[in-house]
Amino acid sequence: MEKFIIAKSIMIIVVAIVATILMRLFFKNSFFRKMGVLWVLTIILDSINTEARLTFEDYPQSLAMPIGMGIIGTIILSSRIVTVPLKNMVNTTVKMSESMNHNIKEINILLGNFN
């Protein structure tokens, strides 16, 4: 048990440090950073849950199931976090496209191209 706790503590510390550095490097002020944090948290929890299940024969299903449900909950939460900003980006892109199409039509009319 002690060996398991030490190994998982080291894993959590190393993963947290590396993930923090990479998230700050690649996703400055982005909602993808939030996604990355949730993703790393999900991987850590899943790793601990799976490793505990394999290491300890008496690991209760009543403990493994809520942890698994929590992992699923974080995945659902992360999908909600991503959906809203992506919809906003798509809407902005559509508005820009419509504006450009309108401007092109006006230019064609001014130039005498009525196609």
Average pLDDT of 22-47?
A: 82
Mean pLDDT of 76-81: 77
More confident residue, 73 or 103: 73
Over range 48-65, report the average pLDDT.
Answer: 81
**What proportion of the chain, given as a percentage, has pLDDT over 70?**
92
CA atoms of 49 and 45, how far apart (whole Å): 6
Domain positions in the chain: 2-111
**For residue 43, is pLDDT > 70?**
yes
CB 47 within 8 A of CB 9: no
Angle value at C-alpha 86, between 85 and 91, nearest 5 degrees: 100
